[in-house]
Structure 1
Amino acid sequence: MVIDSATDGRIQRGNETRRAVLGRAVQIASVEGLEALSIGRLATDLGLSKSGVFASFGSKEELQLATVRAARRIFHDRVVAPVLERPEGVRRLLALCEQWLEYSRGRVFDGGCFFYEVTAEFDARPGPVRDALAQSALEWEGLVTDLARAAAAAGELPAGTDPEELAMLLTGLMDSANSLAVLHDDPSRYDRMLRAARRLLGLPPA
């Protein structure tokens, strides 16, 4: 199939519009939640036509789902990908905690952790958006658990450590640090979280 230059240009402009809209949408949702998103608001914020934004998504729910997918890609690139080349064991698990800390502390999303904000909004609301968020949460918990199991198998965790419980404690510390740091504008919460994580991992203070 041959695509003429006019069609190719429309596709490119559509892709650019979609990227711009999602870049703004993830930031709004991280502060105000996914329900705060609307095609009209995003069009106004970005100086775009409502029809152009609508053509990229078609409905509010599809906009919300696309925003979740965009946030997942950003999270993977900023938190997960940097540690995948590290040797398996407790140091990789610690590195994951550190990358998460920099993601929240550095305000990759304006509201701190995107998923902390929007999951609380949808956790009791059945539907495709909740399903997408639940899948993201399961994948994150599964990754932390897998890294904890690898560290336990290498004999690098304190005796008697249960990897599943450790993963739950670490992710709970992250959620708490994010929430309190944002609420109180207190970055020291991140430092406390990392000190607690090092103790759980049997590592000396930094």
Structure 2
Amino acid sequence: MTPSPTKGATTREAILARSYALACVNGLEGLTIGGVAEQVGMSKSGVFAHFGSREELQLATLDLGGELFIRDVLVPALREKRGLPRLRAIFANWAEWVRHEDDGGCLFLAAASEYDDRPGPIRDRVLQQESDWRDQLAKAVQLAIDSGELAADTEIAQVAFEIYAIALAVHHDAGLTGYTEAAARGFRAFERLLRSYSPTA
């Protein structure tokens, strides 16, 4: 008897959720069909029926991570007023995202490290996700320029780069020296960055 589409979709979601959790701890390279099957209590063939290869599982796991990131970081920030309130909300949500005290770490940072020099579909997907997020940051910066809260001659790509750099530093230090101090330093750096691009700077 063929499983209903709904049941199949539910099973796939359960597999992906577990795969994502494992990847946060072990990285994408640590994912295997057998390892995920064991974690969800299925046979290898059962997992293989939903993901025809290890690479397909890895790509789907990356996509899930991207969806969760947008859900937790960007979407709540869109409720804030355009301009610096929204940009601050994005950074605050991002800082909370990198906390990772219970789930092992950030999948995207691990993937960037694992695949930065390894051409192929996974690296391409990582690059696309990175590019899409930089575009979102750029849009938020542009809105702050449009509102007059950042200088008209602000180099948008540079600000997005610097915000990204601060977030990476928070994540790095959070894992080594503790989240609270890392986040506090990150917020100070972020506010200093915004002041440096103020129309009155």
Name the TM-score, length of structure 2 as normaliser: 0.89
Q: How many angstroms apart in 2 are the aligned matches of 1:120 and 1:53? A: 27
Alpha carbons 1:104, 1:113 under 8 Å: kept: yes
Distance 2:101 2:138 in 1: 24
1:1-206 map, 5 Å: 7=2, 9-105=3-99, 107=100, 110-157=103-150, 161-202=154-195
Task: Specify the code of the residue in structure 1 equivalent to 2:183.
Answer: Y
What SS is found at the alignment partner of 2:135? helix
Structure 2 alignment gaps of length 5 or more? 197-201
Letter in 2 for 1:53: V
Gapped runs of 5+ residues in structure 1? 1-5
**1:71-106, Cα deviation, whole Å (9 max, x unpaired):** 11111111111111322111111110001111122x
Paired with 2:27 and 2:17, the residues of 1 have a C-alpha distance of 14
Aligned amino acid, residue 193 of structure 1 = G
TM-score, length-normalised on structure 1? 0.87
The amino acid that maps onto 2:61 is T
Q: Encode CA deviations 1:6-51: one digit per residue, 9 max, x unaligned.
A: 54x4433322221111111112212221010011111111211211
Seq. identity, %: 38
Relative distance call for 1:61 and 1:130 in structure 2 (3 A) is: same
**Aligned residues of 1:30 and 1:109 also touching (Cα < 8 A):** no
What's the counterpart of residue 3 of structure 1? none
User: 1: distance between equivalents of 2:187 and 2:136?
Assistant: 18
Moved more, 53-62 or 18-27: 18-27
